Amino acid sequence: MDIETLKAQNPAHWTKAAAIRALTLDAVAAANSGHSGMPIGMADVATVLYEKHLKFDAARPDWFDRDRFILSAGHGSMLLYSLLYLCGDPEITLDEIKNFRQWGAKTAGHPENFLAQGIETTTGPLGQGLANSVGFAMAEESLRARFGKKLVDHYTYVIAGDGCLMEGVSHEAIGIAGRQKLSKLVVFWDNNNITIDGTVELSDRTDQVARFKAAGWHVQEIDGHDPSEIDAAITAAKTDDRPSMIACKTHIALGHAAQDTSKGHGALTDADQNAAAKALWGWTTGPFEVPDDTKTAWEDIGRRGVAEREAWEARVADLSATRRAEFTRTMSGEAPKKLSSTIKALKKQISESAPKVATRKSSEMVLEVVNPIVKETIGGSADLTGSNNTKTGDLGVFDVDNRKGRYVYWGIREHGMAAAMNGMALHGGIRPYGGTFMCFTDYARPAMRLSALMKVPTVYVMTHDSIGLGEDGPTHQPVEHLAISRATPNTLVFRPADTVETAEAWELALTQTSTPSVLSLTRQGLSTVRTEHKTKNMVAQGAYVLADADGKRQAILLATGSEVEIAMAARDMLQADGIGTRVVSMPCWELFEEQDERYRKRVLPGGPVRVAVEAGIRFGWDRWLFGERGKREKSGFVGMHGFGASAPAETLYSEFGITAEAVAQKVRGLIEGKWQPDPRT
Amino acid sequence: MDIETLKAQNPAHWTKAAAIRALTLDAVAAANSGHSGMPIGMADVATVLYEKHLKFDAARPDWFDRDRFILSAGHGSMLLYSLLYLCGDPEITLDEIKNFRQWGAKTAGHPENFLAQGIETTTGPLGQGLANSVGFAMAEESLRARFGKKLVDHYTYVIAGDGCLMEGVSHEAIGIAGRQKLSKLVVFWDNNNITIDGTVELSDRTDQVARFKAAGWHVQEIDGHDPSEIDAAITAAKTDDRPSMIACKTHIALGHAAQDTSKGHGALTDADQNAAAKALWGWTTGPFEVPDDTKTAWEDIGRRGVAEREAWEARVADLSATRRAEFTRTMSGEAPKKLSSTIKALKKQISESAPKVATRKSSEMVLEVVNPIVKETIGGSADLTGSNNTKTGDLGVFDVDNRKGRYVYWGIREHGMAAAMNGMALHGGIRPYGGTFMCFTDYARPAMRLSALMKVPTVYVMTHDSIGLGEDGPTHQPVEHLAISRATPNTLVFRPADTVETAEAWELALTQTSTPSVLSLTRQGLSTVRTEHKTKNMVAQGAYVLADADGKRQAILLATGSEVEIAMAARDMLQADGIGTRVVSMPCWELFEEQDERYRKRVLPGGPVRVAVEAGIRFGWDRWLFGERGKREKSGFVGMHGFGASAPAETLYSEFGITAEAVAQKVRGLIEGKWQPDPRT
């Protein structure tokens, strides 16, 4: 169908879609950067979706029961910004459109969820939005099961491009969605056959239709410029009991000189070509000008959901006070009041019984008491349930016939799990946690970065956190992964030393509102070091004096997690020699960094020699060894200097020299002034 | 078919396969850890492959034209070790089998390529072997096209499990293989329907047969315990012009009490159950004992390829001296002699012309002169060819009808690209490099870690390496990625400041034999700072004095990459104020760490204040600021303290305070004793 025919057949639709196209051209040209072709190509799909299907109230982008619209092909951000502006979103004003990609604008190069409520998720790293959407849809299913469809009943719509579908994470995401029969998830594939390097065939000839069918999806193929086909396909998608993929054959940069080319993917800034495209579209107003009648038509769309939203609010108001409070609290992400006392009670009990357990088991002990009171948790594991200890007795399994279940068998899909958890957290009403081996932080990494960037409190339960996992060897032994997570802004990395610290770490993780947490947990058993009960959450300070020096303080040992008990044993040896030794447990560097200078100085005073012990590489430790009143020549590190090896854990600790003896030895040498540089770190 | 029938129908086959099963049981039981079920389940497939198809000479695992066998399901390592031992591999002796998973053994928990020549690749992180295999098969195609099938003509066989196929990287890998019609790649899927958490259906219902067909593969479905079906399927796979997937229906832990269960996936250590399984298999000898006739039968298999290997060696010997030398050099991975002089000539020319270009463009300039003389490079990009500047004029495109092409359009598949590059490097004869945006280090990360662990010199061309990329915003702006790569053992991270340093970095990257390199390159143009030609490779020292102080040395500025010119401008300001200022360019921390104390002290003497400038986070910098004769209270950092933002690059540098003014200001403050802690780093 050519453009004239499209225009003639659906003039009202065409004009509305043209508004998206024109705003995109104008904004990208003004910024002199961006991606014009995708919004132009998908304007018809988006227009039909917003006009005929999407349940939303533009003035109230925070309405909890709105349909979610996720632009997985995030480079086409002007599509989303145009829609928000046109419909009357309070935050995405015309000025924002004019300031596209400029400092301080809400209209960033790629959509950033934290800049405006109307932006559901941060996209740009391809495939992430699609994988998030699986979590959005799961969150909706879970909350609908819990609160009923009068309160929760909405769809998740996604636009994904060829890049999204080539990325590996898309495989994991569609596998999960197919398995879970997420019937309220509808994905539009912008099938324009263009990538940056050329036509898709240059790098891929996958039959996407067959592929999605193989994953258990309902699939339709349509002309992505024909409004009636689009409308019919969405209607069909909404009623099928499987997730739906609608393959929309589109032309990137439709009507522009760059149509159907890689050039069309990028910034179209040639004034003459842009003018010609606008002429072809029948768009006659100046830059950023939307004719009143067109703007009004869009604003009517933006108001379509007002009555529905008000009815929903009335239903919420009609709830019993208790139920309304619980629903409101759940939506808000606030932790239940009982959490704090529950954690304290567990701590007390543990300090008294002082069990020797792995911290992955400690984590399970915490979850066993937490999950029954924090009903919004959804736990899971990437096929390591028995190893990550993430499943507690009360959860039940989230499944097609049990949406009340709160445990997800994610399969061997660390990346998909992490991205879906982000989606759940973004959706709201769910506090997701998921486990894998810490080394496979690598697989989940793109989504873990996005948790931090997007400011969502996803919790990563990373067990088997060092050579202490033993025989599985260096492919499974993290050495640099603590550094990787610590290097990531806005991420709390907890490495608790025992069950008490694990409980404190969980309390902190579950009360975060805008920061993800990484729990680094052992495979091997650890002694309880916090045998004296304190109601205060000591981990909240990031680091604290676990055992002070007897007599003159000559040494400070800094340790985390499984190495705290090694530090304690070294302290015993040193004290026996009359060397006053303090042990500082440092379960969370980031929180310690946030303490004031006075507290930090109290914990790490200048003077004594310092030795840090951690079964990971040294990278990052210099801050605590040389900085904070420390000195290079009075400090040392006992840890890893490269990859691990395959052998029993005790052998590895011994062969790699991470022992109490080595720590004590290093302290003695430093006190005697015999500093030596580390092996290459 | 039950076991008795299988035994009766193919007794000779059965006994050979039983040897694998028994050794597996014994080794896992002795180690009291490991994975018994997979080797037991896939013993029949492996036996038929080795007996009837695999081209190899067990005594010479270094034979270049051998078929490659890749155990992607690496947890089943005893399958591989059993095969190597039984066939007579010189390194995997019976003692090694007995020392499975012990310190110092070559028989690590998961196969480690650097422990024995017979281990083609390191596997365990699921999906990696499968994705490596794509690179192996591409390397074979490329070298066959270059040297002819008399020298290069072999298959790549892979065993992949359910986990491999669930991981996202499998999607990228099979997409590439299908697109490239890698007809000599044969993948056996161990279709045992068991994962750690339970049956596969618990987390996945993907129709794998349909999925592989959708990706353009030849697919067969067989009984994985029937030798004749296995044989026929391999024969058919070898002749089809597509990559082949053979879905092998198998029973995990066949014949053991744990057959067909998740328990069977792990370590089967119950003595009675193991004895019963052996009895069922008809295996009557003691632990680790293989009857002579069975061992002999296997050793005959191990010798099947002797004549073929000798004939190949004769063909190599028959080559002209020049051609033989080139083939031998290429196989060995040695760089051509002309590389050094070519780099020097380019450096001289650049120092004279002093162009202002982005280092991604510098990299292209280097590749333009390098690729014509280093014929073993294969370049590529994950759909960012024009942005990564990885394609040079001479390369040609590697494609189905042009196997001599040396440029790969990888598509939007950073992870698959990285893993395939590892496969190429492991195969030998190829020096792979590939590009993406540095931020998408995250996507490639699992394979990047394996480059380091496996000791292969893969080169990662990571462009757009900071907020300097501008408007694309924080999803595309790396801030922690230098730290991530630096934190990874055995990885060289180069951040060159101009074209000269870029040329030096490339020379180093291309001459590595056991270390991968990450090139961190800018999007934005940079001045040439190395305007005085030096034949010496200055980057080889990791850091060096780029400009010394005029007059009394009061300050040392440390910088990398795009911030070196900022440091130089700050130096101009400070010198104008009479503050003698040295600028140290630090393009490669790892190489600087390897320098002796004398050199390091010469570059970084104690005394002057120190300010580091890098448009990334501070994490890791403390080593150079506080350590190496530095002092916290006399040092400062100018860089990022969190994620970036979307705006033009100049605005971002200015808003985030990464400017010459800020550097000079910080120096002045430090000299005046006004040290202040950084914002949270």
∠ CA A552-A557-A563, rounded to 5°: 145
Q: Is residue A513 part of a domain?
A: yes
* pLDDT tens-place string over residues A380-396: 999 999 999 999 999 99
Task: Give the minimum alpha-carbon distance from A15 to chain B in angstroms, rounded to a whole number.
Answer: 29
Contact yes or no for B446 and A443 at CB 8 A: yes
**Mutation target among A96, A192, A383 for the B interface, most CBs of B within 10 A:** A383
**One domain, residues B485 and B606:** no
Give the mean pLDDT of chain A: 97
Taking each helix axis from N to C end, the angle separating B292-303 and B77-87, rounded to the nearest 10 degrees, works out to 90
Pair A619, B486: CB distance under 8 Å? yes
Q: Is residue A517 part of a domain?
A: yes
Q: Is residue A333 part of a domain?
A: no
Cα–Cα distances in angstroms (integers) from residue A307 to residues A54, A57, A102, B244, in the given order: 14, 9, 36, 57
pLDDT confidence band for A69 (50 / 70 / 90): very high
Q: With CA atoms as reference, report the closest residue to A427 among A407, A453, A452, A457.
A: A457
Task: Give the minimum alpha-carbon distance from B384 to chain A in angstroms, rounded to a whole number.
Answer: 6
**One domain, residues B260 and B363:** no
Cα–Cα distances in angstroms (integers) from residue A369 to residues A343, A409, A504, A505, B236, in the given order: 8, 21, 13, 14, 57
**One domain, residues A469 and A569:** no
Strand ranges in A472-529 using DSSP code E only, listed in sequence order = 492-494, 517-520, 525-526
* pLDDT tens-place string over residues A233-268: 999 999 999 999 999 999 999 999 999 999 999 999
Q: What is the DSSP string of A379-423?
A: EEESS-HHHHT---TT--B-BTTBTT--EEE--S-HHHHHHHHHH
Q: How many domains does chain B fold into? A: 3
Task: Give the minimum alpha-carbon distance from B443 to chain A in angstroms, rounded to a whole number.
Answer: 6
Residue of A nearest to B409 (CA): A203
The binding site of A for thiamine diphosphate consists of 75, 124-126, 163, 192, 265, 440
CA distance B17 to B10: 11
Q: What CATH number is given to the structural domain containing A553?
A: 3.40.50.920
Is the ipTM higher than 0.95? The answer is yes
**One domain, residues A251 and A346:** no
Alpha carbon of residue B526 to chain centroid: 30
The residue count for chain B = 681
CA distance B187 to A13: 50
The three-state DSSP-derived secondary structure of A28-84 is HHHHCCCCCHHHHHHHHHHHHHHHHHCCCCCCCCCCCCCCEEEECCHHHHHHHHHHH
Pair B19, B27: CB distance under 8 Å? no
Q: Which residue has the tokens 């002045």?
A: B668
Q: Which residue has the tokens 């939005």?
A: A129
A chain contacts of residue B105, beta-carbon cutoff 8 Å? 646-647
* pLDDT tens-place string over residues B470-529: 999 999 999 999 999 999 999 999 999 999 999 999 999 999 999 999 999 999 999 999
Pair B481, B439: CB distance under 8 Å? yes
A385 Cβ contact list (under 8 Å, min separation 6): A391, A409, A435, B196, B197
B464 annotated to a ligand binding site: yes
Cα–Cα distances in angstroms (integers) from residue A598 to residues A537, A584, A595, A628, in the given order: 19, 16, 8, 11
Q: Which residue has the tokens 């985390």?
A: A560
Structure tokens at A249: 């054959």
* Strands A525-526 vs A357-358: parallel, antiparallel or unpaired: antiparallel
**One domain, residues B568 and B648:** yes
**One domain, residues A512 and A399:** yes
Is B221 noted as a catalytic residue in this protein? no
**Cβ of B7: how many Cβ atoms within 10 Å?**
18
Q: With CA atoms as reference, report the closest residue to B175 among B212, B136, B130, B128.
A: B212
B chain contacts of residue A623, beta-carbon cutoff 8 Å? 622, 626, 681
Pair B242, B257: CB distance under 8 Å? no
CA distance B87 to B304: 10
Q: Is residue B639 part of a domain?
A: yes
* pLDDT tens-place string over residues B425-446: 999 999 999 999 999 999 999 9
B chain contacts of residue A648, beta-carbon cutoff 8 Å? 101-103
| Side-chain half-sphere CA neighbours of B297 within 13 A | 19
Q: Is A409 exposed, middle or buried (0-12, 13-18, 19+ CB in 10 A)?
A: buried
Give the mean pLDDT of chain B: 97
Contact yes or no for A383 and B487 at CB 8 A: no
CA distance A410 to A426: 19
Q: Is residue B535 part of a domain?
A: no
pLDDT confidence band for A219 (50 / 70 / 90): very high
B523 annotated to a ligand binding site: yes
Pair A156, A67: CB distance under 8 Å? yes
Identify the domain boundary among B526, B550, B570.
Answer: B526
pLDDT at B681: 44
CB pairs under 8 A between A and B: 361
Alpha helices, DSSP H, located in A224-270 = 227-239
Taking each helix axis from N to C end, the angle separating B128-147 and B321-332, rounded to the nearest 10 degrees, works out to 170
B chain contacts of residue A680, beta-carbon cutoff 8 Å? 590, 593-594
CA distance A495 to A480: 14
**Cβ of A380: how many Cβ atoms within 10 Å?**
30
Q: With CA atoms as reference, report the closest residue to B55 among B181, B186, B146.
A: B186
Q: With CA atoms as reference, report the closest residue to A273 among A286, A291, A284, A258.
A: A258
Contact yes or no for B450 and A475 at CB 8 A: yes
Question: Mean per-residue pLDDT for B27-51?
Answer: 98
CA distance B324 to B312: 12
Structure tokens at A557: 């040992």
CA distance A157 to A613: 49
**One domain, residues A135 and A241:** yes
**One domain, residues B382 and B506:** yes
> Could you give the 3-state DSSP secondary structure of residue A246?
strand
Please tell me which residue in A141, A167, A172, A414 is annotated as part of the active site.
A414
A chain contacts of residue B166, beta-carbon cutoff 8 Å? 172, 175, 383, 411-413
Q: Which residue has the tokens 């333009």?
A: B368
* Strands B492-494 vs B517-520: parallel, antiparallel or unpaired: parallel
Q: Note down the domain range covering B564.
A: 542-671
Does B650 score more than 80 pLDDT? yes
Contact yes or no for B175 and A206 at CB 8 A: yes
* Strands A544-547 vs A580-585: parallel, antiparallel or unpaired: antiparallel
Q: With CA atoms as reference, report the closest residue to A452 among A480, A486, A481.
A: A486
**One domain, residues A81 and A226:** yes
CA distance A42 to A71: 11
* pLDDT tens-place string over residues A481-500: 999 999 999 999 999 999 99
B chain contacts of residue A542, beta-carbon cutoff 8 Å? none
CA distance A20 to A14: 10
Strand ranges in B120-167 using DSSP code E only, listed in sequence order = 156-160
Please tell me which residue in B414, B565, B590, B614 is annotated as part of the active site.
B414
CA distance B189 to B68: 16
Contact yes or no for B172 and A167 at CB 8 A: yes
Contact yes or no for B475 and A622 at CB 8 A: no
Does A557 score more than 60 pLDDT? yes
**Cβ of A193: how many Cβ atoms within 10 Å?**
15
CA distance A293 to A300: 10
Pair B637, B678: CB distance under 8 Å? yes
**One domain, residues A360 and A288:** no
Structure tokens at A265: 């993917």
The residue count for chain A = 681
At residue A402, what is the residue type?
Answer: N
B chain contacts of residue A646, beta-carbon cutoff 8 Å? 101-103, 105, 108-110, 112
**One domain, residues A498 and A615:** no
pLDDT at B507: 98
CA distance A634 to A611: 9
pLDDT at B680: 55
CA distance A126 to B164: 21
* pLDDT tens-place string over residues B329-355: 999 999 999 999 999 999 999 999 999
Q: Is residue B487 part of a domain?
A: yes
CA distance A293 to A19: 11
Q: Phi, psi at residue A563, to the nearest 5°?
A: -90, -5
CA distance B512 to B492: 10
Q: DSSP class of residue B402?
A: B
Q: Is residue B477 part of a domain?
A: yes
Q: With CA atoms as reference, report the closest residue to B517 among B431, B614, B641, B628.
A: B431
CA-based torsion, A550, A553, A557, A561: positive or negative: positive
Task: Give the minimum alpha-carbon distance from A205 to chain B in angstroms, rounded to a whole number.
Answer: 6
Does B591 score more than 60 pLDDT? yes
Q: Which residues in B48-79 are b (16+ Cβ under 10 Å) and which e?
A: bbbbebbbbbbbbbebbbbbbbbbbbbbbbbb
Q: Is residue B331 part of a domain?
A: no
Task: Give the minimum alpha-carbon distance from A200 to chain B in angstroms, rounded to a whole number.
Answer: 8
**Cβ of B390: how many Cβ atoms within 10 Å?**
25
Structure tokens at A301: 């769309």
Contact yes or no for A196 and B677 at CB 8 A: no
Does B15 score more than 60 pLDDT? yes
Q: What CATH number is given to the structural domain containing A138?
A: 3.40.50.970
Identify the domain boundary among A470, A502, A526.
Answer: A526
Question: Mean per-residue pLDDT for A88-107?
Answer: 98
User: In which order are the strands placed within the sheet that holds B553-559?
Assistant: B544-547, B580-585, B553-559, B609-617, B635-640
pLDDT confidence band for B678 (50 / 70 / 90): confident
**Mutation target among A412, A591, A596, A678 for the B interface, most CBs of B within 10 A:** A412
Rg of chain B taking only CA atoms, in angstroms: 28
CA distance A566 to A529: 11
Q: Which residue has the tokens 């003159």?
A: A552
**One domain, residues A191 and A302:** yes
CA distance A143 to A156: 14
Identify the domain boundary among A493, A526, A559.
Answer: A526
* pLDDT tens-place string over residues A119-169: 999 999 999 999 999 999 999 999 999 999 999 999 999 999 999 999 999
